[in-house]
């Protein structure tokens, strides 16, 4: 059957969601890199409707701003008072004056809906010439859901809420999702007949189905491909469950595309992340935001990447990286922190307990361990010795350090910015470099060493150190120079 294209999609997102116990509107809670509402808008767009209308209410300003950010073409209408789902759809249709054809109604807190199911809903609705088509699911435990009662010919006879269901109806496991496809004309007529004569004093959208049925209009139903698709998020436990569903879907999709995921249960990948075939993801890995991973790269274990690019054949383990670029064949980790603005060129190495921010490490260069690199440019084939600190902040402003190609920075060097180290230069271990170093030079910037013999015995008599020194002197193991005050370079 060819793909259909609805005239409009109406998204109901006005509810407060008190069970979330949050100051954030329910539909703005995040899941796999999108808000709940963002997931619904995204799947609605895959139907290519002429228009999308979202009904907002609680937190309208925040929800409206979010919609403008993610999809400026979405029409937003406000439900000033929460008078029920039927009332919300009537407000939406007022914004769609003159629109005819199929109107799809979705819930803004149901992020697990798939394009496949919505296409099946639209195709059945138009192919069967229905006035309404109810999206349903068959669940193991239907408690709390309205039951869908079908007629002999398979059409929908009624939707019975649990509180009104008799013993036989309670055994029905096909339930109403609260999402539908309607034909615009009959929908408008039914909405105009809704009343608030019920326990909640609201206009129920489910009553539209009964009104259409009583008018001898055809009402049918389509079951979701999987029961999880209809789940609405009402509390944090349901939010966590939905996260697991999306995680499993995403991981399966990537594995079928050629990505190796060693432990899918501990690997979390946002919906906008791009992972190339032949990449390998090891346990306890999170890929978030606009992260991308190239072919042949190995990421993990214990890696957290946000908006980070990992090149082909790179290896990242035990690392936290945000807004960083890790070049092809580069290695990162273990226990490494790459902050925003970090760029590692091809084959660069950043090792254990290294933090880098707003810096570029050139091709084949190494920062192997225990160092901080901030606001720096490092050339190619350069080695930064252990415990080096790029001193970039003077208390008020940040300054840059420029290091050339094939430079060797000795361990425990302080590079006090702004400073430039020329190509091929060396710095001696323990130096504090405050002036530029010419190409090919050796910079030594440290105090001359002084040895004061006998200091421990005089200043710390009776201590374990003094006793050890006395034993060494007695056995002739003292290798230090003699003299009371000897200096050496």
Mean pLDDT value across residues 442-461: 94
d(CA 282, CA 293): 13
- 96-116 pLDDT, tens digit per residue, is 988 999 999 999 999 999 999
Mean pLDDT value across residues 380-392: 98
Q: 135 forms bridges with which residues in the sheet?
A: 179, 222
Count of C-beta atoms within a 10 Å radius of residue 258: 12
pLDDT of residue 81: 87
Q: Where does the pLDDT of residue 483 fall: very low under 50, low under 70, confident under 90, or very high at 90 and above?
A: very low
pLDDT of residue 121: 97
Confirm if 119 and 135 have CB atoms less than 8 A apart: no
Confirm if 281 and 267 have CB atoms less than 8 A apart: yes
Mean pLDDT value across residues 409-414: 98
Whether the per-residue pLDDT at 489 is higher than 80: the answer is: no
What is the enclosing helix (H) or strand (E) of 213?
helix 206-214
Whether the per-residue pLDDT at 201 is higher than 80: the answer is: no
Q: Is 376 exposed, middle or buried (0-12, 13-18, 19+ CB in 10 A)?
A: buried
Strands (E), 270-386: 274-275, 280-281, 285-288, 292-293, 298-299, 303-306, 309-310, 315-316, 319-322, 325-326, 331-332, 336-338, 343-344, 349-352, 355-357, 360-361, 366-369, 372-374, 376-378, 383-384
Whether the per-residue pLDDT at 487 is higher than 90: the answer is: no
| Beta strand 336-338 pairing with 349-352 | unpaired
Percent of the chain exceeding pLDDT 90 equals 90
Residue with tokens 């230090």: 480
pLDDT of residue 478: 57
Task: Select the more confidently predicted residue: 4 or 423.
Answer: 423
Burial 67-99 (b: 16+ CB within 10 A, else e): beeebeebebbebeeebbbbbbbbbbbebbeeb
Which among 61, 42, 66, 62 is positioned nearest to 52, based on CA atoms?
42
Q: Record the pTM.
A: 0.90
Same fold, 8-230 and 256-443: no
Instruction: 328-333: list long-range contacts, CB under 8 Å, 24+ apart.
Output: 328/294, 333/303
Q: State the catalytic residues.
A: 369
Whether the per-residue pLDDT at 482 is higher than 50: the answer is: no
Tokens of 393: 């902040």
The end-to-end CA distance of the chain, in Å, is: 86
- 215-252 pLDDT, tens digit per residue, is 999 999 999 999 999 999 999 999 999 999 999 999 99
Q: Is 375 exposed, middle or buried (0-12, 13-18, 19+ CB in 10 A)?
A: middle
pLDDT of residue 479: 54
Tokens of 330: 């580069």
pLDDT of residue 440: 97
pLDDT of residue 480: 53
pLDDT of residue 47: 97
Tokens of 116: 């496949």
Fold adopted by 8-230? Spore Coat Polysaccharide Biosynthesis Protein SpsA; Chain A (3.90.550)
Residue with tokens 């580069």: 330
d(CA 7, CA 48): 9
Q: What is the DSSP string of 237-288?
A: HHHHHHHHHHHHHHHHHHHHTT-EES-GGGEEE-TT-EE-TT-EE-SSEEEE
Mean pLDDT value across residues 294-313: 98
pLDDT of residue 349: 98
The domain 256-443: what is its CATH number? 2.160.10.10
d(CA 481, CA 484): 9
Mean pLDDT value across residues 459-481: 85
d(CA 393, CA 389): 11
Domain boundaries, the chain: 8-230, 256-443, 449-488
């Amino acid at each position: 059957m060819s793909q259909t294209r609805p005239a409009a999609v109406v998204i109901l997102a006005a509810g407060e969601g008190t069970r979330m116990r949050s100051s954030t509107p329910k539909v703005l809670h995040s899941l796999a890199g999108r808000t709940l509402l963002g997931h619904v808008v995204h799947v609605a767009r895959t139907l290519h409707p002429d228009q999308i209308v979202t009904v907002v209410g609680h937190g309208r300003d925040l929800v409206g701003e979010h919609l403008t950010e993610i999809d400026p073409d979405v029409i937003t209408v406000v439900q000033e008072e929460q008078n029920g789902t039927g009332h919300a759809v009537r407000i939406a249709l007022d914004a769609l004056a003159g629109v005819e054809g199929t109107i799809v109604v979705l819930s803004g807190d149901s992020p697990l809906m798939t394009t496949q199911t919505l296409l099946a809903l639209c195709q059945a609705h138009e192919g069967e010439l229905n006035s309404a088509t109810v999206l349903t699911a068959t669940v193991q435990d239907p408690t709390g859901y309205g039951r869908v009662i079908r007629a002999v010919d398979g059409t929908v006879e009624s939707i019975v809420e649990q509180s009104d269901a008799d013993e036989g109806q309670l055994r029905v496991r096909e339930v109403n999702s609260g999402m539908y496809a309607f034909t615009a004309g009959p929908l408008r007529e039914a909405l105009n007949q809704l009343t608030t004569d019920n326990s909640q004093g609201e206009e129920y959208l489910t009553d539209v189905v009964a009104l259409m049925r009583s008018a001898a209009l055809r009402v049918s139903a389509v079951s979701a491909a999987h029961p999880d698709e209809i789940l609405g998020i009402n509390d944090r436990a349901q939010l966590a469950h939905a996260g697991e569903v999306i995680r499993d879907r995403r991981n399966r999709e990537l594995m079928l595309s050629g990505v190796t995921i060693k432990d899918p249960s501990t690997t979390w990948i946002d919906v906008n992340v791009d992972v190339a075939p032949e990449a390998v993801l090891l346990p306890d890995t999170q890929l978030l935001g606009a992260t991308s991973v190239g072919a042949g790269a190995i990421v993990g274990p214990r890696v957290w990447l946000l908006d980070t690019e990992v090149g082909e054949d790179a290896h990242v383990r035990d690392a936290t990286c945000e807004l960083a670029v890790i070049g092809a064949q580069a290695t990162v980790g273990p226990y490494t922190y790459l902050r925003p603005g970090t760029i590692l060129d091809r084959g660069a190495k950043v090792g254990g307990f290294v933090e880098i921010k707003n810096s570029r490490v050139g091709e084949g260069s190494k920062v192997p361990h225990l160092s901080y690199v901030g606001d720096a440019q490092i050339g190619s084939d350069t080695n930064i010795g252990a415990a080096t600190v790029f001193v970039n902040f003077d208390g008020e402003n940040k300054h840059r350090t420029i290091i050339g190609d094939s430079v060797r920075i000795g361990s425990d060097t302080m590079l006090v910015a702004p400073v430039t180290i020329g190509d091929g230069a060396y710095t001696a271990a323990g130096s504090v470099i405050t002036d530029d170093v010419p190409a090919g030079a050796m910079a030594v910037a440290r105090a001359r060493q002084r040895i004061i013999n006998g200091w421990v015995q005089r200043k710390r008599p009776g201590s374990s150190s003094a006793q050890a020194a006395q034993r060494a002197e007695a056995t002739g193991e003292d290798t230090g120079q003699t003299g009371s005050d000897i200096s050496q370079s």
